[in-house]
């Protein structure tokens, strides 16, 4: 069975996206952070899981020459890994190695986890994260706390209606101010 991990950025005041739905504030690049993200993108294979909004954002950047020049290792990983996008509105997907899913999110993710031999990683996709967390399907949360206060925005777990207890399993601080906190559900 595949492990489902959510890799998510939040602001210091707890927002996943700002008031206009943007998350460009989360992209602080330096050598240490670039090495970490390149290692994550290339390490372990697996499948990427997206909602429509994040998929469209990622698919508009990673296959471009600019992405390949800026972050060649990350771009290679993003472009070659299998990807699954859940959407009720998309009719087709063009990004290489992408499968479009229109079925029930929780049922389909249960099937994906059961059939997976490697991990599944959610990048962004806040609506999907909150639904899968509510359903108890996320095995690990990697939350990157960014040193910025947004004042307004949307929280990552918007829509969750039950308490989800977690235990911290790891943490790492970066020179750019980011802090990665890893959590697993308390069972």
Domain residue extents for the chain: 4-185
- 32 to 10, 22, 37, 150: CA distances (angstroms): 19, 24, 9, 24
**Cα separation, 108 vs 100, whole angstroms:** 11
CA dist., res. 78 & res. 96, Å (int): 9
Instruction: Supply the pTM of this predicted model.
Output: 0.90
- pLDDT-derived band of residue 44, with 50, 70 and 90 as boundaries? low
Closest CA to 170 of 162, 161, 179, 178: 179
43 pLDDT exceeds 90? no
CA dihedral 138, 144, 145, 150 (to 10 degrees): -90
What sign for the dihedral angle of Cα 47, 22, 72, 29?
Answer: negative
Weakest-pLDDT range from 44-53, 89-98, 150-159: 44-53
Q: Mean pLDDT, to the nearest integer, of 46-70?
A: 94
Mean pLDDT throughout 142-148? 95
**Res 45: pLDDT:** 67
Task: Map tokens 């800026």 to a residue.
Answer: 70
Tell whether the model's pLDDT for residue 28 goes beyond 90: no
User: 41: pLDDT confidence band, cut at 50, 70 and 90?
Assistant: low
CB 89 within 8 A of CB 101: no
What's the pLDDT score for residue 36? 86
Of the candidate ranges 98-102, 121-125, 135-139, the one whose mean pLDDT is the lowest = 121-125
Q: What is the CA radius of gyration of the chain?
A: 16
Q: Is the pLDDT of residue 162 over 70?
A: yes
Report, at the CATH architecture level, how domain 4-185 is classified.
3-Layer(aba) Sandwich (3.40)
**Cα gap 18→102, rounded to integer Å:** 28
Whole-angstrom distance, CA of residue 176 vs CA of residue 37 = 13
Residue 80 CA to residue 119 CA, distance in Å, equals 15
């Amino acid at each position: 069975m595949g492990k489902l991990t959510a890799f998510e950025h939040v602001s210091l005041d707890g927002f996943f996206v700002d008031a206009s739905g943007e998350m460009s504030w989360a992209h602080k690049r330096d050598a240490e952070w670039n090495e970490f993200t390149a290692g994550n993108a290339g390490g372990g294979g697996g499948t990427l899981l997206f909602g429509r909004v994040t998929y469209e954002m990622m698919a508009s950047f990673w296959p471009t020459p600019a992405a390949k020049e800026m972050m060649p290792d990350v771009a290679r990983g993003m472009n070659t890994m299998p990807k699954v996008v859940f959407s009720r509105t998309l009719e087709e997907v063009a990004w290489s190695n992408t499968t479009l899913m229109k079925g029930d999110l929780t049922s389909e993710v249960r099937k994906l986890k059961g059939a997976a031999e490697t991990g599944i990683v959610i990048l962004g996709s806040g609506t999907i994260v909150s639904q899968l967390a509510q359903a108890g399907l996320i095995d690990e949360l990697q939350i990157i706390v960014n040193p910025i206060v947004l004042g307004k925005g949307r929280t990552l777990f918007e829509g969750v209606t039950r308490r989800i207890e977690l235990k911290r399993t790891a943490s790492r601080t970066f020179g750019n101010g980011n802090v990665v906190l890893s959590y697993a559900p308390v069972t």
